Structure 1
Amino acid sequence: MTTRPTALPIVLAGARGHGRWHLANIRRLQHQGLVRLVGICEPAPLSDDELVAVAGELPAQSADFGALLDSTGARAAVICTPIQTHTELALTAAARSVHLLLEKPPAATYADFARMTDGVRAAGIACQIGFQSFGSHAVPAVRELVRSGAIGTLRGIGAAGAWVRDDAYYRRAPWAGRRRIGTVDVVDGVLTNPLAHAVATALELADRGRAEDVASIETELFRAHDIEADDTSCVRITTTDGLPVTVAVTLCAEQAGEPYVIVHGDRGRITFWYKQDRVLVQRAGHGPQETVHGRTDLLHNLVEHLAGHAELLVPPYRTGAFMRVVEAVRTAPEPAALPSDAWHTEPATASAGARRVVRGIDATVAEGADTLTLFSELGVPWAQPSEVGTP
């Protein structure tokens, strides 16, 4: 009988914002005896109210990540901090042989990603990249359907995301909606951060997630908000074997919807709603088949991997193609401001702030995923070179 080792001592870097989710997840695993939260790294310590749900002995707190790792003896760390800080914090952990769950995107530039992966490899630590959708049991199930020929010959992968974010979303942090701060790259655009899962999951379902799987990348980046980065964009990645992977996304939707990936075959299609672990198979000669799958938590998987019980689900090399997309977005021309007649402002309500809505965008992103085409190829007026404007 296998015995459970002592709970893994862990430090959380970034416990506010999305970090609250990680704090709750660590607490859940701590209740199961799998991990023990020994430290929290934040510029300003968490208050007693913010720590009220933390069971047992309160964790140490410090703004100095390295010193906190040293003083607590942590064996693992979760990094959920601003994008531009990921590489240096990951290397700080690697230098101390501390294993990692690193939030997506793993870095703001491909050079930083390569530097991080080299450091992780040299240190011999495990590094899990935080694409939670890769833990869905639907991913291997869909890939097996494709391998078995259930939808015929694979023709391409499409993905669509139509989310709603109000104006306050871009005021929540100094780096929100920025491409860079001074000379430091941030790349907080819709393709690279809020809907990065759409890009990465599409590449994962295509089984072409390594950097060397990418032959070319075409981007069309737009913004309705008064920000530096893009909020309404599409990208087409062509793989080395010619497979198109097209992703169309927005944060200015008319109605918020569940993001999804479509696997196109010549005899059918598979739709995967990756936040819901839901799969719909539609193919010639069969009725539609819908299934809902389980999911493995990435931190739990990291713990199991360190105990020798599981393969790591999201090692850095499986996000190399995604990082090629981040680099393409980073080096692309500045996102084009949409003309004023392409969007309107929805006034604030009791439950949400004022937000900008791009007219017809819900149908546009869906059509992009369905036809594997870019906005400009769909004939969207504002996506034509003569129609885009500057602030």
Structure 2
Amino acid sequence: MSAPTPLLLVGIHGHGRHHLRALHRLTGTGRVRLAGVCDPTPPAPGDDLEGHGLLPHFAGLEEALEATGARVTVIATPIHTHLPLARTALDHGSHILLEKPTTATLAEFDQLNAAAEAAGPSCQIGFQSLGSHALAAVRALVDSGTVGRVLGIGGAGTWKRTSHYYDRAPWAGQRRLNGHDVVDGALTNPFAHAVATALDLSRAAEEPVHDVELELFHAHPIQSDDTSCLRVRTPDGTPVTVAVTLCAPETTPPRLTVHGEHGRIDLDYTLDRVTVHRDGRPPRTTEHGRTPLLDNLLDHIEHGTPLLVPPTRTRAFMHVLEAVRTAPDPVAVPATRQRVRETPEGTHRVITGITDLVHRSARHLALFSELDPAWSPTALESHP
């Protein structure tokens, strides 16, 4: 057996905890060795790092890479730190799994691509949904003409996030922080998978996206959007829409729908579940597996297996992020359109009627303002 691959985790708080838990499977089989962790904030006294126990901790990435000799670096840090940390790891010869979104700007995305090409080590982007085998199943259904000609793809996401979600870190819910672009909005971070997966299903994931239509709103007292919709068109003119909110009464699984002339295909991308609805026939549901992106990166390093999510597969998503970054500030949802209550998890803000509006957007491939003129950003600003 070959020696375990030394791995360094950068970012041990927030989403880094997910990576710590997930690493048990690979450390348990001896495929990787968690050589250390890196974070400016050290583990709290008594923190066993999700069962990994006492590990070398480093405040700086260069020191960590030199001390551990990490062949793989997992970067789970704030969005605006992605590019400099990725460059450092690549320059030290370490392959990287970089959490989504890829970078904070389109210019940084181009710089990351150039750095990855120049350095040699591989870069995988952490859009886990793009490792789902359900995507190939949906494409096969489309290619076989199961629902006829594709009319469009609609996405809907309704989640509940309280004020604690935004209190967890200084960058949460920010467009900019200390002079740096962050772009931590609903479309670009929590529902980034919905956007990237919808674009991937449209087969335009690696293409530049132009003429992005956006409607951005916020109910929470934040800079960024917590409720939004977008529409883009693929090179052949097919519309792709995504409507989302973090101000729903409850959290439900997000869904992408491929609308066809003779039915539709629903993809519950967090569940890897595909349901086909055809005229005059009962729905048919199948469940699919998923390839973990770290496993795929290791296979790529060891056996030359193609990467599932190289940076180029996120190009269209990054064009959407850039449109969000450069768009006017999100419009505040008036208090008269909210229900607010205090919970043990923080302030819970529910926008009246938002769940129905989000699903109507996905069903009709329409922006909020096209479904209800009262949701025009201008109308909201003028008539609260």
Asked if these proteins are the same fold (TM beyond 0.5), I'd say yes
Query: Is 1:46 aligned with 2:39?
Result: no
Once residues 98 and 87 of structure 2 are traced to their aligned partners in structure 1, the CA distance between those partners, rounded to angstroms, is 11
Q: Which residue of 2 aligns with 1:362?
A: 355
Alpha carbons of 1:284 and 1:31: their partners in 2 closer, same or farther (altered >3 Å)?
same
Find the partner of 1:299 among 294, 298, 303. 294
Query: Does the C-alpha gap of structure 1 residues 25 and 342 become closer, same or farther in structure 2, counting only changes over 3 Å?
Result: same
**1:1-391 matches, cutoff 5 A:** 5-47=2-44, 49-51=46-48, 53-55=50-52, 58-212=54-208, 214-308=209-303, 310-348=305-343, 350=344, 352-388=345-381
Amino acid at match of 1:354: T
Is 2:212–2:323's contact at 8 Å kept on the other side of the alignment? yes
TM-score normalised according to structure 1 size: 0.95
Q: Unaligned stretches of 5+ in structure 1?
A: none
**d(CA) in 2 for partners of 1:202, 1:155:** 14
**Post-superposition, which runs of at least 4 consecutive aligned residues in structure 1 deviate over 3 A?**
52-56
Deviation at residue 127 of structure 1 after TM alignment? 0.9
CA contact (8 A) 2:245 2:354 kept: yes
Q: Deviations over 1:54-88 (max 9, x none)?
A: 448x4321111011111111001000000000000
Taking the aligned partners of 1:386 and 1:141, their CA distance within structure 2 comes to 42
Q: Distance in 1 between matches of 2:261 and 2:269?
A: 23
Contact 1:216-1:239 at 8 Å conserved across structures: no
Q: Against the structure 1 CA distance between its residues 53 and 249, is the aligned structure 2 distance closer, same or farther, given a 3 Å change threshold?
A: closer
For the structure 1 residues 389 and 251, does the alpha-carbon distance in structure 2 shift closer, same or farther, using more than 3 Å as the test? farther
Q: What are the superposed Cα offsets for residues 17-44 of structure 1, whole Å, 9 maximum, x if unpaired? A: 1110001111221101111100101112
Aligned length: 384
CA contact (8 A) 2:225 2:330 kept: yes
Provide the aligned C-alpha RMSD in A.
1.6
Judged with a 3 Å threshold, the aligned counterparts in structure 2 of structure 1 residues 54 and 9 are, in CA distance, closer, same or farther, namely: farther
Deviation at 1:9, TM superposition (A): 0.6
Give the deviation of 1:155 after TM superposition: 1.2
Contact preservation (8 Å) 2:331, 2:377: no
Give me the whole-angstrom Cα distance separating, in 2, the residues matched to 1:390 and 1:333: 19
SS of 1:215's partner is: coil
The CA deviation at 1:260 is 0.8
Unpaired runs of 5+ residues, structure 2, are none
Structure 2 length-normalised TM: 0.96
Q: Is the 8 A contact 1:5 1:307 kept in 2?
A: no
Aligned counterparts of 2:23 and 2:49: Cα–Cα separation in 1: 14
CA shift digits 1:256-275 (9 cap, x unpaired) = 11111001111111101111
Corresponding residue SS for 2:35? strand
Counterpart-to-counterpart distance in 2, 1:290 and 1:256: 22
